[in-house]
Structure 1
Amino acid sequence: MTTTRDIAVVGSGYMGGGIAQVLALAGHRVAIADVSAEVAASNLERLVGEAEQFVTDGLFPADAVERIRAGITAADSIEEAVADAAFVEEAVPERIEIKHETLRRISAAARPDAVIGSNTSTILIGSLAQAVERPERFLGVHFSNPAPFIPGVELISHATTDESAVSLAEEVVASTGKVTARVGDATGFVLNRLQYALFHEATQLVDEGVATPEDIDTIVRTTFGFRLPFFGPFAIADMAGLDVYAFCYASLQTRWPERFATPASLAEHVEAGRFGTKTGSGYLDVPAERTPELVAYRNRAYVAMQRLLDELGPAPIAAEPTGERA
């Protein structure tokens, strides 16, 4: 059973507003605050209007508008929003000076036992914690855009974050139906470090004339990206074979010996004969006897994904055709 809590979301733009929506739909009492009472009130009306459209599109439950109207209030100030909150989520713009000033106001006005989370995408949580009174109650709680529909949330502790603060944040996020992962306090955390690594390599391919942005997107969507809703990079590597990965690294090193140096952990696994699912041990240690079950799941998952894509049709990215070519 979900525990209903008083929660504040400071910063009611598209990220903060989406977070407020899912918290209200989970049954919490949510106060939103922004640079002024007028901005917060205006954003609340926007959130209601968005919810109406989401209901029409079948993305929110039929009673979502009523629940959001009942569950979210627009506060006159940050101090008013956080006064009674058990959990506060800061979602102001990604500039450390703005976040520092906001976090000072939050921690000065909030209850001593209130847990404070930041929705920062890349800024070190330890750096932000410098502005928080009783920083042991502070951590990163990083939702992804669009917050109502992306299920994963990063939880990032700094050096002195208390376990009880992390546990409460996990409970709050879990009440919304989302999935949390605990990660260390490193610039970019996990999500953006991986996302930007892929984007960087994609731009290199374009700059080298290997492929166009359109063709690179097609390859990502229809090959390894097709696997990612079901399996992360370690599961994919284990299923492909870590010995195969080692050979591929060696091939890439003929052109980029440093950029694609074989990871030490991969070399250790291969040297020890741990090749992934085919040997029953690798990064994830999937027992060999479960490999047929895993392969069957994988095949069903990929067929189901293709059916979903066929049903949805292509994303409206490319321009609509205007007529026959001359």
Structure 2
Amino acid sequence: MTLEGRTVAVIGSGYMGGGIAQVLALAGAEVRIADVDADTTRANLDRLVAEARAFAAEDLFPAHAPDTIAGRVHAAESFEAAVEGADFVEEAVPEKIGIKHEVLRRVSAAAAPDTVIGSNTSTILIGRIAEAVARPERFLGVHFSNPAPFIPGVEVIAHAGTDPAILPGVEELVRAVGKQPARISDADGFVLNRLQYALFSEASQLVDEGVASAEDVDTIVRTTFGFRLPFFGPFAIADMAGLDVYRFCFESLQGRWPERFATPRALAEHVENGRLGTKSGGGFLDVPAERVPELVAYRNKAYARMAQLIDELGPAPLGKEGDR
């Protein structure tokens, strides 16, 4: 699917909104961007084209990207001008509820009644933002991650009043720009940030307790369980490890932190019912026994290729030149 013939508005043309505009244009859409004033919008458009030129030179974007983005992304004079005739609007203004409400009042009043409006919020409940939207049934969260051109996952978040009929179309649009949508309920932190900040909290406690330095915690995360995460989520990893093993590990941690590491109810139920993961034919995910050898072969190939890629790229330039 491409977005040829579609007109999309992106409200807020900073690094998040600008990146979203780039991928929309590369997928075939005519994109209008708008920011706090026309001069800011035009300056940001120039930046997006310059970025595309740099990305193309590094083979991160296709060679045609600078010309395509220059031809398909247009600087609108105002929010209202940007959304006129658009069939989808993505709001990407700063994470302050007052700013979002002010902008979305204007945008939803000016847009056609059936225009779907998404918010790129990463933390604010969609239902709360929807209070300022005319016809809130056509409003939802469409949360890209930074940097938007390169991170594939997008949270699609309906609030209690969202019309469910709009969800498949939004998911199609997300797939058309080369991203992977995941349908999420409207809850504090959604999924991405609830997990991300839970990990950061535990990592910070390890450093505070003197268990390891920040550098060594980062090394453990990226070279052990983090090494698996590009290919498998936490439930697939648990199933392959064995849910009985996971329960044992939770019980071990409970000796020191009985509440913090209480055994999850679903894990205990799976083990009690003999659903131990891939070794028993099912756990959180159902993997038929005949497909387990194929899964193991994929896992091994994936990890080997990841190691090769990391060797090819070299270490991230996080320290001093002499430390690398």
Task: Say which SS state the counterpart of residue 321 (structure 1) adopts.
Answer: helix
CA distance, structure 2, for counterparts of residue 170 and residue 76 of structure 1: 29
Contact kept in structure 2, 1:126 and 1:159, CA below 8 Å: yes
Counterpart of 1:92 in 2: which secondary structure? coil
The alignment of Structure 1 onto Structure 2 pairs a total of residues equal to 323
User: Cα distance, 1:300 vs. partner?
Assistant: 0.4
User: What's the offset of the Cα at 1:289?
Assistant: 2.0
Tell me the amino acid that sits aligned with residue 121 of structure 1.
S
Which ranges of structure 1 fall in alignment gaps of 5 or more residues?
A: none
Q: Indicate the residue corresponding to 1:150 in structure 2.
A: 151
Aligned Cα RMSD in Å?
A: 1.0
Q: CA deviation at 1:242?
A: 0.2
Map residues 1-326 of structure 1 onto 2, 5 A cutoff. Answer: 1-4=1-4, 5-321=6-322
What is the DSSP-based 3-state SS (H/G/I as helix, E as strand, rest coil) of the residue aligned with 2:322? coil
3-state SS of 1:156 partner = strand
Tell me, yes or no, if the aligned pair for 2:3 and 2:27 is still in contact at 8 Å: no
* CA distance in structure 2 between the partners assigned to 1:127 and 1:165 by the alignment: 19
TM-score normalised per structure 2:
0.98
Q: Could you tell me whether the CA contact under 8 Å between 2:53 and 2:66 is conserved in 1?
A: yes
In 1, the alpha carbon distance for the partners of 2:206 and 2:200 equals 10
Q: Secondary structure at the match of 2:171?
A: helix
Q: CA deviation at 1:148?
A: 0.2
Deviation of the 1:169 alpha carbon: 1.2
Separation (CA, whole Å) in 1 of partners of 2:275 and 2:143: 34
**Segment drifting more, 238-247 vs 160-169:** 160-169
Listed one character per residue, the Cα deviations across residues 268-287 of structure 1 (whole Å, up to 9, x for unaligned) are 00011110000001000111
1:84, distance to aligned residue in structure 2 (A): 1.0
Give the distance between the partners of 1:62 and 1:163, measured in 2 at CA: 38
Q: TM-score, normalised by structure 1?
A: 0.98
Tell me, in whole angstroms, the C-alpha distance in 2 between the residues paired with 1:90 and 1:249: 41
* Deviation (angstroms), 1:171: 1.7
* Structure 1 residue 164: Cα displacement: 2.6
Larger mean CA deviation between 165-174 and 253-262 belongs to 165-174
Q: Distance in 1 between matches of 2:24 and 2:303?
A: 32
Deviation larger for 240-249 or 281-290: 281-290
CA contact (8 A) 1:6 1:28 kept: yes
Structure 2 segments unaligned to the other structure (5+ residues): none
Partner secondary structure for residue 130 of structure 1: helix
Q: Secondary structure at the match of 1:153?
A: strand
Amino acid at match of 2:185: G
1:124/1:187 contact within 8 Å kept:
yes
Instruction: Report if the CA contact (8 A) 1:115-1:168 is conserved.
Output: no
Runs of 4+ in 1 over 4 A off after TM superposition: none
